[in-house]
């Protein structure tokens, strides 16, 4: 007779699992393979509550698939390049690798304690030369295909971090990392030509539909921003001092060409300077200064009054020959479309606001049945019939668009055009702690890639502390012996590129490396890669909805095009776990509401923390640590574990003679749990498991009691299902039942269809007194389990419509009444 001690279990089992290589896939084709991956961590300090939640979820999937008999690849590694290591090194006069690898060791120890069922033999770190060698190798393949190129360009610049930022790293006009308002600067920078893949990145989302959260797909779609429309060329009339020239606009509404009453170019684009007449020049320059001082948020605000300057020029409408005044304004963006627009105030609100501000004419060309926009101040954008539009009169909007394009094409002044919001990926960084760009600049030969057999281009190790601090050029420029090399092509003196790669490059292919992390002939073993790819279940935070996931999809497509892999998409299914909150708010230093993971583990044990994370809510929802009860989880685990202490039925005895009611609950739990797990309803599985534990206890305490073979059957099922959530307790329980380790490979119990018919009662679920769902539940369901089932109901969630919950009144097994906040 033992006492439930999580500390004893945590001390005992990790070594056993490691010795038995329980989590190393056979990788021999004997079983169907499945690849389960958690977004790999960044090594900042020790693991936190967020890691604990995300990795608990991913581990449920990996452990479940293993029980179902799949050969599961579930690796772990670190995204270990990046700024925080560099900043720490500057502060401590150290090398970034010291901070990085010390943190990795800390996290690795915590992950092992947390009993992540990872194959540790595949561990990788993106800052290892054996890894970044292949990042450089891939960069070269992109370069050879014209997908990596350099250009001079105005870039987002963080004046505090002194580094270039990708558009994605600019949040509301400020640096994602430090919050400093971002400015523009012109630099020669490396780009990946992701725009070449815009259409495929969009199209292939069809394959992900239903398997990725709709929200993430919508964000990607919006980021790619495909707009169908037309390019229309306008002649800008010559003036005394300025020659005639042509300017192209992008419009999604060529049907409204007859309603164009003015023309606008982005004030901050060079085009504005090219066009402006000498008389208007000073006014434009003063305006541009004002625009530069505005943040991106202010510029894009629709609330702000429209401002602009007349350029002194006129554009000729190619359809009707009308002269349209050309303005420069900041509501037209320099880097979208062509940076110039035809303004149709009657049917575009921004144009209408501008027309009102500057007294420009408004002419409606589409009868929508709404009132005249020039009177209401509201542009009409719906369907309707074209008027005042010459040959287009009488057509609907959707007929008018292709008709207008046809006319433009005949005139040779325009054509159909598909515009994307997506920009090429700016990948170079003027920082030290990243993958060096494997290019040498030679005065004679230009850009010369470092030959493959000279990879990796290693980071110099003689720069430390202050030498790493950002100066606007890369710190690598200071490593003179490193920079100066002979040109691999002509042998003359040449210089290495001193920029490093955005760390998103490293994370765009790590899932491929995990398949064969020690392979030395290429980034991955071509014999193995297609056995595992694509990742069957990817788990990570929604904060990566755009950047990381889009880049990883882009890399996968290019690598497929090179012919190295078959997969077209890297991640077949995606699960975004929620956040861990405390008191309804994200944990933060400033709020002082942080919860230390280590303390929670010490107090309640790993299993209780893991179980709490999973039980608290559906995996996609946030967990509020102030509302959960790890001590309740711990009590449940002890209760489940004690079942094993009390089982006295012999192993191997046919349970057919056992208690029929208990057998029904056991078999129903097994069957339903599998279905729930297939649909990521982990929390409901836990609720069902609690019911099974209670029913088993009842049987033990009555009738045939502990010797009933149905009891053993039930407890074995408990151990296997519990192994997905509470690996230590489950292993110990399994051991008590007389089985060798590991329960992780016990196999999912088979259920008997004939036993599924069960007495049930109907529980009514009300929201604010209104019946929203009816659930078939066991007559002896616990309050906790019934509450969880009710809250998981889709009908209930719909009725709550995002509102929080004030109280839940549970009268098991018949009634649940939920009162929204």
In the complex, the residues that contact ligand ANZ under the rule CB under 6 A are: 227, 250-253, 256, 332-333, 336-337, 339, 341-342, 344, 347-348, 419
Measured from the CB atom, the residue of 256 and 537 that comes closer to ligand ANZ is 256
Q: State in angstroms the smallest separation of the CB of 545 from ligand ANZ.
A: 20
DSSP letter at 181 equals B
- 472-491 residues near Zn ion, rule: CB under 5 A: 487, 489-490
Q: Which does 490 bind (CB under 5 to 8 A by kind): ligand ANZ, Zn ion, none?
A: Zn ion
Q: State in angstroms the smallest separation of the CB of 336 from ligand ANZ.
A: 4
Going by C-alpha positions, the residue among 722, 723, 816 that lies closest to residue 761 is 816
Q: Which does 332 bind (CB under 5 to 8 A by kind): ligand ANZ, Zn ion, none?
A: ligand ANZ
Q: Are 271 and 249 in contact (CB under 8 A)?
A: no
The tokens for 439 are 């290019």
Measured from the CB atom, the residue of 227 and 239 that comes closer to ligand ANZ is 227
The tokens for 756 are 């599924």
Which helix (DSSP H) or strand (DSSP E) does residue 794 occupy?
Answer: helix 794-800
Measured from the CB atom, the residue of 424 and 731 that comes closer to ligand ANZ is 424
- Counting beta carbons within 10 angstroms of the beta carbon of residue 37, is it exposed (0 to 12), middle (13 to 18) or buried (19 or more)? buried
Q: Which does 489 bind (CB under 5 to 8 A by kind): Zn ion, ligand ANZ, none?
A: Zn ion
Count of residues in the chain: 821
The tokens for 673 are 């749990």
Which helix (DSSP H) or strand (DSSP E) does residue 9 occupy?
Answer: helix 6-20
Site for Zn ion contains 493 (CB under 5 A): no
Q: State in angstroms the smallest separation of the CB of 446 from Zn ion.
A: 8
Q: Which does 419 bind (CB under 5 to 8 A by kind): Zn ion, ligand ANZ, none?
A: ligand ANZ
Dihedral through CA 123, CA 124, CA 129, CA 135, nearest 10?
Answer: 150
Q: Which does 195 bind (CB under 5 to 8 A by kind): Zn ion, ligand ANZ, none?
A: none
Q: Are 546 and 219 in contact (CB under 8 A)?
A: yes
Measured from the CB atom, the residue of 338 and 793 that comes closer to ligand ANZ is 338
The C-alpha atoms of residue 278 and residue 239 are separated, in whole angstroms, by: 10
Measured from the CB atom, the residue of 143 and 223 that comes closer to Zn ion is 143
- Counting beta carbons within 10 angstroms of the beta carbon of residue 651, is it exposed (0 to 12), middle (13 to 18) or buried (19 or more)? exposed
The CB-side HSE value for 567 (13 A sphere, CA atoms) comes to 22
Measured from the CB atom, the residue of 485 and 685 that comes closer to Zn ion is 485
- 429-448 residues near Zn ion, rule: CB under 5 A: 442, 444-445
Which helix (DSSP H) or strand (DSSP E) does residue 111 occupy?
Answer: helix 96-113
Q: State in angstroms the smallest separation of the CB of 396 from ligand ANZ.
A: 14
Classified as helix, coil or strand, 245 is strand
Which helix (DSSP H) or strand (DSSP E) does residue 297 occupy?
Answer: helix 296-300
Q: Which does 442 bind (CB under 5 to 8 A by kind): ligand ANZ, Zn ion, none?
A: Zn ion
Measured from the CB atom, the residue of 112 and 304 that comes closer to ligand ANZ is 304
Helix axes 96-113, 597-604, angle to 10 degrees: 20
Q: Which does 336 bind (CB under 5 to 8 A by kind): ligand ANZ, Zn ion, none?
A: ligand ANZ
Q: State in angstroms the smallest separation of the CB of 332 from ligand ANZ.
A: 4
Going by C-alpha positions, the residue among 619, 537, 679, 576 that lies closest to residue 33 is 537
Residue with tokens 């997506």: 422
Q: Which does 487 bind (CB under 5 to 8 A by kind): Zn ion, ligand ANZ, none?
A: Zn ion
Measured from the CB atom, the residue of 388 and 489 that comes closer to Zn ion is 489
Q: State in angstroms the smallest separation of the CB of 366 from ligand ANZ.
A: 8
Q: State in angstroms the smallest separation of the CB of 337 from ligand ANZ.
A: 3
Q: State in angstroms the smallest separation of the CB of 311 from ligand ANZ.
A: 16
Measured from the CB atom, the residue of 277 and 349 that comes closer to ligand ANZ is 349
The C-alpha atoms of residue 595 and residue 600 are separated, in whole angstroms, by: 8
Q: State in angstroms the smallest separation of the CB of 188 from ligand ANZ.
A: 25
Contacting residues toward Zn ion, per CB under 5 A: 442, 444-445, 487, 489-490
């Amino acid at each position: 007779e033992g006492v439930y001690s999580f500390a004893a279990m945590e001390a005992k089992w990790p070594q056993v699992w490691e010795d038995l290589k329980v989590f190393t896939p056979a990788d021999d084709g004997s079983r169907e393979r499945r690849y389960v991956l958690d977004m790999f961590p960044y090594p900042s300090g020790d693991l936190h509550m967020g890691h604990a939640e995300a990795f608990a979820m991913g581990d449920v999937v990996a452990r479940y698939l293993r029980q179902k008999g799949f050969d599961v690849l579930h690796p772990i590694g670190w995204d270990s390049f990046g700024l925080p290591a560099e900043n720490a090194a500057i502060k401590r006069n150290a090398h970034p690798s010291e901070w990085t690898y010390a943190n990795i060791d800390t996290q690795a120890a915590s992950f092992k304690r947390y009993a992540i069922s990872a194959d540790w033999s595949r561990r990788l770190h993106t800052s290892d030369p054996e890894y970044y060698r292949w990042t450089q190798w891939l960069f070269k393949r992109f370069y050879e295909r014209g997908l990596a190129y350099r250009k001079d360009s105005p870039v987002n610049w963080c004046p505090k971090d002194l580094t270039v930022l990708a558009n994605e790293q600019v949040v509301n006009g400020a640096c994602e990392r430090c919050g400093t308002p971002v400015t523009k600067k012109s630099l020669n920078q490396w780009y990946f030509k992701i725009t070449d893949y815009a259409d495929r990145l969009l199209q292939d989302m069809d394959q992900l539909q239903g398997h990725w959260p709709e929200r993430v797909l919508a964000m990607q779609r919006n980021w790619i921003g495909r707009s169908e429309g037309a390019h229309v060329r306008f002649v800008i009339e010559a003036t005394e001092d300025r020659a005639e020239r042509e300017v192209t606009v992008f419009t999604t509404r060529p049907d409204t060409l007859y309603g164009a009453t003015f023309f606008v170019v982005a004030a901050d684009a060079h085009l504005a300077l090219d066009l402006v007449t000498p008389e208007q020049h000073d006014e434009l320059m003063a305006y541009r200064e004002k625009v530069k001082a505005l943040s991106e948020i202010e510029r894009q605000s629709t609330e702000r009054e429209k401002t602009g300057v007349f350029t002194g020029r006129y554009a000729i409408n190619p359809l009707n020959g009308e002269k349209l005044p050309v303005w420069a304004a900041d509501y037209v963006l320099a880097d979208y479309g062509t940076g110039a627009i035809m303004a149709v105030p009657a049917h575009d609100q921004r144009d209408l606001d501008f027309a009102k501000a500057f007294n420009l004419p408004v002419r409606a060309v589409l009868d929508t049945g709404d009132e005249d926009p020039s009177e209401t101040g509201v542009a009409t954008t719906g369907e309707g019939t074209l008027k005042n539009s010459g040959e287009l009169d009488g057509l609907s909007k959707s007929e008018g668009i292709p008709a207008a394009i046809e006319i433009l094409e005949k005139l040779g002044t325009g054509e159909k055009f598909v515009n994307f919001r997506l920009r090429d990926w700016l990948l170079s960084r003027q920082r030290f702690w990243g993958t060096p760009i494997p290019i040498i600049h030679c005065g004679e030969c230009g850009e010369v890639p470092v030959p493959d057999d000279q990879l990796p281009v290693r980071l110099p190790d003689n720069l430390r502390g202050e030498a790493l601090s950002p100066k606007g050029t890369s710190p690598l420029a200071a490593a003179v012996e490193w920079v100066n090399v002979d040109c691999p092509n002509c042998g003359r003196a040449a210089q290495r590129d001193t920029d490093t790669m955005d760390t998103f490059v490293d994370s765009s292919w790590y899932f491929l490396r995990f398949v064969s992390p020690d392979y030395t002939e290429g980034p991955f073993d071509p014999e193995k890669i297609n056995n595992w790819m694509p990742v069957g279940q990817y788990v990570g935070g929604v904060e990566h909805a755009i950047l990381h996931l889009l880049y990883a999809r882009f890399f996968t497509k290019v690598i497929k095009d090179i012919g190295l892999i078959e997969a077209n998409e890297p991640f077949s299914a995606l699960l975004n776990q929620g956040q861990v909150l405390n008191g309804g708010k994200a944990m933060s230093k400033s709020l002082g509401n942080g919860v230390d993971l280590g303390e929670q583990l010490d107090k309640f044990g790993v299993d209780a923390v893991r179980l709490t994370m999973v039980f608290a809510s559906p995996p996609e929802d946030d967990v509020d640590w102030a509302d959960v009860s790890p001590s309740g989880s711990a009590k449940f685990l002890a209760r489940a574990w004690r079942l094993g202490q009390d089982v006295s039925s012999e192993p191997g005895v046919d349970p057919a003679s056992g208690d029929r009611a208990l057998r029904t609950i056991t078999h129903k739990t097994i069957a339903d749990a599998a279905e729930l797990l297939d649909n990521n309803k982990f929390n409901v599985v836990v609720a069902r498991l609690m019911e099974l534990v209670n029913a088993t206890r009842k049987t033990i305490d009555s009738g045939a009691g502990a010797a009933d073979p149905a009891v053993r059957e039930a407890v074995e099922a408990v151990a296997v299902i519990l192994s997905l959530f509470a690996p230590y307790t489950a292993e110990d329980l399994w051991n008590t039942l007389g089985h060798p380790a590991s329960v992780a490979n016990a196999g999912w119990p088979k259920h008997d269809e004939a036993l599924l018919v069960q007495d049930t009662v109907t529980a009514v679920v009300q929201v604010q007194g209104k019946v929203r769902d009816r659930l078939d539940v066991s007559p002896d369901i616990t309050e906790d389990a019934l509450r969880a089932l009710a809250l998981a109901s889709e009908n209930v969630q719909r009725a709550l419509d995002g509102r929080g919950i004030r109280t839940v009144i549970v009268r098991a097994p018949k009634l649940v009444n939920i009162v929204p906040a």
